[in-house]
Amino acid sequence: MIAAGSLDRRIRIHRFQATEDRYGAKAEGWAPAEWIWAGRKDVSDGERVRAEAQGIALNVRFTVRWSSLTASIKGRDRIEHDGVTFAIVGIKSLGRREGFEISGATVQEDEA
């Protein structure tokens, strides 16, 4: 069970969407979903060094409760927290419909 007190941060999921207007022009971009409560844990220095050696700027892990929104999170989505955007690099299920641990890497400006 995820303790309510450990979910002390607000994060927002962003979905990559492709849309088409009434003239048939296609547009792609990031559409924000709702804000959810999460816990945040910074990655240890040892894990950070290993990740950077592989060219990944792995920074944090977010813990969220299970919901229809969190169950639909995919690796292509992004997370916004405190004005920083994180690409999702890993999603791990916690128990049966209990929650998820989402690993995030900071998004470089040219990727945003």
Per residue in 6-32, pLDDT (tens digit) is: 899 999 999 988 888 788 888 888 899
Distances (CA, A) of 44 to 22, 48, 60: 49, 6, 9
In this prediction the pTM is 0.77
Which pLDDT value is given to residue 10?
Answer: 96
Which pLDDT value is given to residue 5?
Answer: 84
Cβ–Cβ under 8 Å, residues 106 and 60: no
Bridge-based pairing state of the strands 9-20 and 58-65: unpaired
Beta carbons within 8 Å of 31's beta carbon, 6+ residues apart: 14, 15, 16, 17
Q: Greater confidence, 4 or 67?
A: 67
Residue 54 confidence (pLDDT) above 60: no
Give pLDDT tens digits for 62-103.
999 999 999 999 989 999 999 999 999 999 999 899 999 999
Q: Which residues pair with 16 in a beta bridge?
A: 30
In the chain, the domains with their CATH numbers are 7-111 (2.40.10.270)
